[in-house]
Structure 1
Amino acid sequence: RPAPALSRAAMEANTSLWHSYLGVILSRERQRMEHFQRAEDILLTLLESVHARDPRFLVDYARNLEAFEFSLCASEDAVTLEVPLRVDGDTLRVLARRRGDSPEQGGHAAELSTCCLELCSPGADLEDWTGAVDGMEHCLLPGKILQHLKELLVSAIVRCQRLFLLQPGDISAENLREDAMELSLLIRGSWKPIRFDIVPVVRRQQEPLQLRRRQSDRGFPAGSLRRATEEVHFVPASPLCWRSSTHLPLLKLLRGVDSLQGPRLDSLRLLDQLREQDWGGQAGTGTLTFQHLKMVLLWSTELFPSPEDWQDLEGSVYRLLVILLRCLATQHLPHFLNPEENLFQGMAPDLASLYPKVESFAWDPQRFLRFHFGLHGFSGSCQADTKTRALLQLPSKDGFCWDTAYFDILLSQFQVFRIQDSARRSAASQLLARIRQETPQQS
């Protein structure tokens, strides 16, 4: 279903529409950041009080990555804030456990296998946080640490209010739950409170990860992957076990993308606004999250490493779109650092209804690039294009459907390829010929 060729005047009007939509998004960013910083100041005041009561909980003032991520979001989603523990992670013995050894709790899927952290040289100042697990006597128990941190947070709120360091209504602790693997606080930064999910973390140096299918920093600034993954962060997975968190490594990679030329992050901003306004459910809440789109951007950075791919806003958005459509059609979004993990696992019914909305935008973005208030959600027709969907649902034999040439074919389908590299054009043509030969009924 190729779109009609656009005249020069129509192309200029189309470009203006994309940038006008982005301009409205960017115009609100400064105010959002001011709200975040006010909420962050309140939280740091609280954590300083916690540290004064128990110095084993450290205050990390370098929160620029969380602020950076918050500035990109269309909605005020929860902010994950890791509170480092004064524990020498390099002296711990790490005992990996199988995925089935302990139930996942707190709504988190295990990013890597869970593990136990044993103190090789038990210290007197950590005895109240340890216990026996699998025959080991001196293991750090996340459940004990979380309970202690929760008690300190509650007492710190009361203390700071008595000293007039906090005003009534600045903080709400009503979301603190006994069984959660993070401690949620609602903090007033503006008319709408911001939710901070506080997570204790044990830091440990590690060898650079041997990432599957990735031998270099393809598409990223040199050294980005090594710097992002040289330190492992263990966070609670259950009252007894820990898991390796990719929260900060992914944010470091996102910051690396920000240093590259082209409107890459603007593409993320624009798609996240569409997710919030048109692709979500009631009041913008839906299956697709900002975290999913962030993962799509990281994959697009690797799969489209050429600066030629990121010269204009429309083309940049479509780089993310073709990857997102492939993941929605196959109901499989691989984690960027752990590709064996499917971030769309168990979401099939919702993804099926979301796919035609996203494809409708890909075919006719002008219908979406406008702000509306009141009812959320796209209300137009969402009939999917059968030929496009057949191409998107091709089985991935030998990984050829997770390759630049395959996504170049999809870009050509939407008439946004515009690449002069003869080698890439040849690779896409050869792959298309192979697809037609192997699946003639879908050609």
Structure 2
Amino acid sequence: LPSPAAAGAARLPWVPPNASLWHSYLGVIVSRERQRMEHFQRAEDILLTLLESVHDREPRFLVDYARNLEALEFALCASEDAVTLEIPLRIDGDALRVLACQTRNSPARHPSELNTCCLEVCSPGTDLEDWTGVVDGMERGGGAGCLLPGKILQHLKELLVSAIVHCQRLFLLQPGDISAENLQEDAMELSLLIRGSWKSIRFDIVPVVRRQQEPLQLRRRQSDRGFPEGSLRKATEEAHFVPASPHCWRSSTHLPILKLLRGVDSLKGPRLDSLRLLDQLRDQDWGGQGGKGTLTFNHLKMVLLWSTELFPSPEDWQDLEGSVYRLLVILLRCLATQHLPHFLNPEENLFQGAGPDLASLYYKVESFAWDPQRFLRFHFGLHGFSGSWQADTETRALLQLPTKDASYWDTAYFDMLLSQFQVFRIQDNARLSAS
């Protein structure tokens, strides 16, 4: 697997004198990526050894060796967040019938329960009898039973524990390589701590049913605007169902979002570098205790994807500072309105229920936008942000304009915000007049 660190370093442009602080800050971030990749790959080797043993015992759990997307995400993220690892099941997803699921068992931590469903096994003799059962409250079906995530998770958990013991006996694993202490009875993922080098990485293992689907009817003006041609279609051509409760499944956008992120990386300009920089600020200055605040790396990924669509011109991504501000104006808008739409499911608000924390977070992000020099340095111990910043009332008023008019979620609107921060720098006459 090629190191994103080397690729990132190769992409760093010539540094003008007035931008040296931005690139010095980014350079330190990028310099850590090779070590993080080696850390990830060592832990990944241990996990694959374990999953191979699971597959030998139960061939219905497949081993997916293509982990490049997860590796890219881990390298980009500043904090040591858990790595989601979807384990594909050897099931013909296209032969399953998707039915509405209205059970009371869906966990509250999944706000997007609109996508909750049951997967009915219509054909008998499919070697899935031990994974199926009756689901109360399901949309009326009449088949052979539904695939139950709870049974699959329990089976996988038992196999993981057995595989750990087996691999240790054969000296395929060293003492301390894996900790199964976080395997929870009712969790919808199976967490393992795996030693990469001097510290461990948490892998959240999730069984997934894959199914071909019709192209998503994305609520866009142009579905591929700003992205490489066909990338949205390719990223969403396969539906992924993961456990939502012991009886129901939910649609997962984890891998489609990572595929879009990789597509963004193929475009010119410091797009992923902007994500790196803002995530470092999130972890170091904008988070709560230990960097664990309301704003997450997943939120910033969505901001980058919206930025890619709303600013489709290569001219928008010529320099690092301008690129960062394109993400900033969208992030500030979402914080001010307490609404961040999911890129693939715009009706889902990723900031739902986080109102009180978003208000304080807004001041931190705006203070960076007006005075980035205060933040573009590394420090240890106490957070660098002090709460003495006074928000700019004019900018706050622009950010909170009503959302009923779609023009307030358009390039011209964000161009106007960029002009507020004096980082517009676009020569397109149509966009100049629109803003």
TM-score range, shorter chain: over 0.9
Letter in structure 2 aligned against 1:426? S
> Which of 110, 122, 125 is matched with 1:120 structurally?
122
Cα deviation for residue 235 of structure 1 reads: 0.4
Cα deviation for residue 103 of structure 1 reads: 4.0
Distance 1:165 1:315 in 2: 49
Distance 1:407 1:96 in 2: 39
Deviations 1:239-270 (A, max 9, x none): 10001100000000000000000000000000
User: Equivalent residue of 1:199, what SS?
Assistant: strand
Cα deviation for residue 13 of structure 1 reads: 4.0
Structure 2 match to 1:163: 170
Quick check: 2:153–2:188 contact (8 Å CA) kept in 1? yes
Structure 2 match to 1:280: 287
2:375 matched to 1:368? Answer: yes
Distance 1:205 1:280 in 2: 39
Cα deviation for residue 186 of structure 1 reads: 0.6
Size of the aligned set, in residue pairs, is 416
Letter in structure 2 aligned against 1:168? P
Structure 1 match to 2:3: none
Letter in structure 2 aligned against 1:47? L
Letter in structure 1 aligned against 2:333? R
Structure 2 match to 1:216: 223
Deviates more, 1:128-137 or 1:44-53: 128-137
Cα deviation for residue 209 of structure 1 reads: 0.4
> Which of 49, 52, 58 is matched with 1:48 structurally?
52
Distance 1:187 1:18 in 2: 34
Quick check: 2:329–2:418 contact (8 Å CA) kept in 1? yes
Distance 1:109 1:143 in 2: 20
Instruction: With the length of structure 2 as denominator, give the TM-score of the two structures.
Output: 0.93
Quick check: 1:122–1:138 contact (8 Å CA) kept in 2? no
Structure 2 match to 1:295: 302
Cα deviation for residue 104 of structure 1 reads: 3.0
Deviates more, 1:204-213 or 1:323-332: 204-213
Structure 1 match to 2:405: 398
Structure 2 match to 1:14: 18
Gaps of 5+ in 1: 1-10, 429-443
Cα deviation for residue 12 of structure 1 reads: 4.5
Distance 1:217 1:190 in 2: 40
2:92 matched to 1:85? Answer: no
Distance 1:111 1:36 in 2: 32
Structure 2 match to 1:330: 337
Letter in structure 1 aligned against 2:119? L
> Which of 31, 36, 42 is matched with 1:38 structurally?
42
Structure 1 match to 2:252: 245
Letter in structure 1 aligned against 2:397? A
Structure 1 match to 2:276: 269
User: Equivalent residue of 2:62, what SS?
Assistant: coil
Letter in structure 1 aligned against 2:229? A
> Which of 54, 63, 68 is matched with 1:64 structurally?
68
Cα deviation for residue 397 of structure 1 reads: 2.6
Structure 1 match to 2:394: 387
Distance 1:403 1:124 in 2: 50
2:134 matched to 1:132? Answer: yes
User: Equivalent residue of 1:125, what SS?
Assistant: coil
Structure 1 match to 2:7: none
User: Equivalent residue of 2:217, what SS?
Assistant: coil
Distance 2:344 2:273 in 1: 23
Distance 1:343 1:106 in 2: 14
Deviates more, 1:63-72 or 1:324-333: 63-72
> Which of 317, 320, 331 is matched with 1:313 structurally?
320
Structure 1 match to 2:349: 342
Distance 1:230 1:304 in 2: 25
**CA 1:126–1:106 in structure 2 vs 1: closer, same or farther (change >3 Å)?**
farther
**CA 1:112–1:45 in structure 2 vs 1: closer, same or farther (change >3 Å)?**
farther
Structure 2 match to 1:434: none
Cα deviation for residue 112 of structure 1 reads: 4.5
Quick check: 1:207–1:230 contact (8 Å CA) kept in 2? yes
Quick check: 1:278–1:376 contact (8 Å CA) kept in 2? yes
Cα deviation for residue 171 of structure 1 reads: 0.6
Quick check: 1:104–1:110 contact (8 Å CA) kept in 2? no
**CA 1:255–1:112 in structure 2 vs 1: closer, same or farther (change >3 Å)?**
farther
Deviations 1:209-249 (A, max 9, x none): 00112442000000001000000001001110001100000
User: Equivalent residue of 2:350, what SS?
Assistant: coil
Structure 1 match to 2:78: 74
User: Equivalent residue of 1:401, what SS?
Assistant: helix
Quick check: 2:99–2:117 contact (8 Å CA) kept in 1? yes
Deviates more, 1:158-167 or 1:207-216: 207-216
Distance 2:251 2:356 in 1: 29
Distance 1:397 1:70 in 2: 37
Cα deviation for residue 107 of structure 1 reads: 2.9
Cα deviation for residue 187 of structure 1 reads: 0.6
Aligned sequence identity (%): 86
Distance 1:360 1:123 in 2: 62
Letter in structure 2 aligned against 1:131? G
Deviations 1:259-290 (A, max 9, x none): 00000000000000000000001111100000
Distance 1:112 1:308 in 2: 38
User: Equivalent residue of 1:118, what SS?
Assistant: strand
Structure 2 match to 1:109: 111
User: Equivalent residue of 1:400, what SS?
Assistant: helix
**CA 1:103–1:348 in structure 2 vs 1: closer, same or farther (change >3 Å)?**
farther
2:223 matched to 1:202? Answer: no
Gaps of 5+ in 2: 1-14
Quick check: 2:240–2:251 contact (8 Å CA) kept in 1? yes
Quick check: 1:105–1:238 contact (8 Å CA) kept in 2? yes
**CA 1:250–1:123 in structure 2 vs 1: closer, same or farther (change >3 Å)?**
same
Quick check: 1:106–1:179 contact (8 Å CA) kept in 2? no
Quick check: 1:92–1:120 contact (8 Å CA) kept in 2? yes
Taking the TM superposition and a 5 Å limit, the aligned residue runs for 1:404-423 are: 404-423=411-430
